[in-house]
Structure 1
Amino acid sequence: MTRAWITLDKQEILTLSSVVWLQELSEREQEIQASGRVGDYYAAHDAAKEELRQRGMVSVWDFEEALEMYLEISIEDALVSPDPIIKAVAMLDRRTGKRRLRQIDSESLVNPLVKRCYEIRCEAEGLSRAVEA
């Protein structure tokens, strides 16, 4: 099993553990199946995976895949990506200038990782538009 993390100034801003992710995924799948919201295992798996992603919890494998995809898309596409990892990295990318940062509606940032990266970047640029905790 693997673990990955991102640090900024010796503080972890993102921690990924395949063991923790798999445990959470399994629990969510079971809850979704028990609730009867979906009919089969594959639908429950997909729904559980999406719920975890929306909470800011992704697998190490998804993280690696998102980083590979990030390298192939424009900054405009990255900033509107539904993938929180791609969007978070775009917040830190120098191609996202101060003008673009000011144009971002901080209220629309729902993913915790995207919010945190936005806050970090605004602080680094001296902008007072950081997301309220």
Structure 2
Amino acid sequence: MGSLTYLVKYYEQSTQIQQERACQDYGDDQQIKGYLAAQEEVQQRLRNDGTIPLEEFNSTLFEYLNLSIEEILGSDQMVLRALGMFDKRLGKRRLKSLNLSSDHELVQSFFRIRCAFEGIRPQLDT
């Protein structure tokens, strides 16, 4: 995470999509929907890749403090789920039953670390 890294990737990818779709002029009523859709698509892509701005990371950390373990594990935010792997509210039995084979690499890595610490053999099909 880092704001500059995020902004550079965001700008490069959104510019590319906007050029491909011929929707670079946000002042043109005909192009504004494509322009905004490209921005939303890039934001989602970057999130899925694990690239987030520092401000979002910080707000996620503060949000974490007020969530139950169920909300953390069920969140669509990869950072929350990853941090949840180290949460003491996640017990050994529940840890053993988690299926994270389709989850983000960061979540899987934190899961492996926690399993190693607990002496549990991780069940990941990666």
TM-score normalized with structure 2 length: 0.82
Match status 1:32 vs 2:17: yes
Q: Which moved more, 1:18-27 or 1:30-39?
A: 30-39
Closer, same or farther: CA 37–113 of 1 in aligned 2, 3 Å: farther
How many correspondences in the alignment? 117
1:18 corresponds to which residue?
A: 3
Deviation at 1:62, TM superposition (A): 0.9
- Name the one with the larger strand percent: 1
Greater Rg, structure 1 or structure 2? 2
Q: Which runs of 4+ in 1 moved over 4 A?
A: none
Q: RMSD of aligned C-alpha atoms?
A: 2.0
Match status 1:79 vs 2:68: no
Match status 1:118 vs 2:118: no
Tell which has more relative contact order, 1 or 2 (C-alpha 8 A, sep 6+). Answer: 2
Deviation at 1:87, TM superposition (A): 0.8
Whether the 8 Å contact between 1:123 and 1:130 is mirrored in structure 2 is no
Closer, same or farther: CA 43–61 of 1 in aligned 2, 3 Å: same
Deviation at 1:46, TM superposition (A): 1.8
- Aligned counterparts of 2:22 and 2:91: Cα–Cα separation in 1: 43
Deviation at 1:37, TM superposition (A): 9.7
1:106 corresponds to which residue?
A: 100
Note the residue ranges of structure 2 that are not aligned, 5 or more in a row.
24-32
Deviation at 1:53, TM superposition (A): 0.8
Match status 1:60 vs 2:45: no
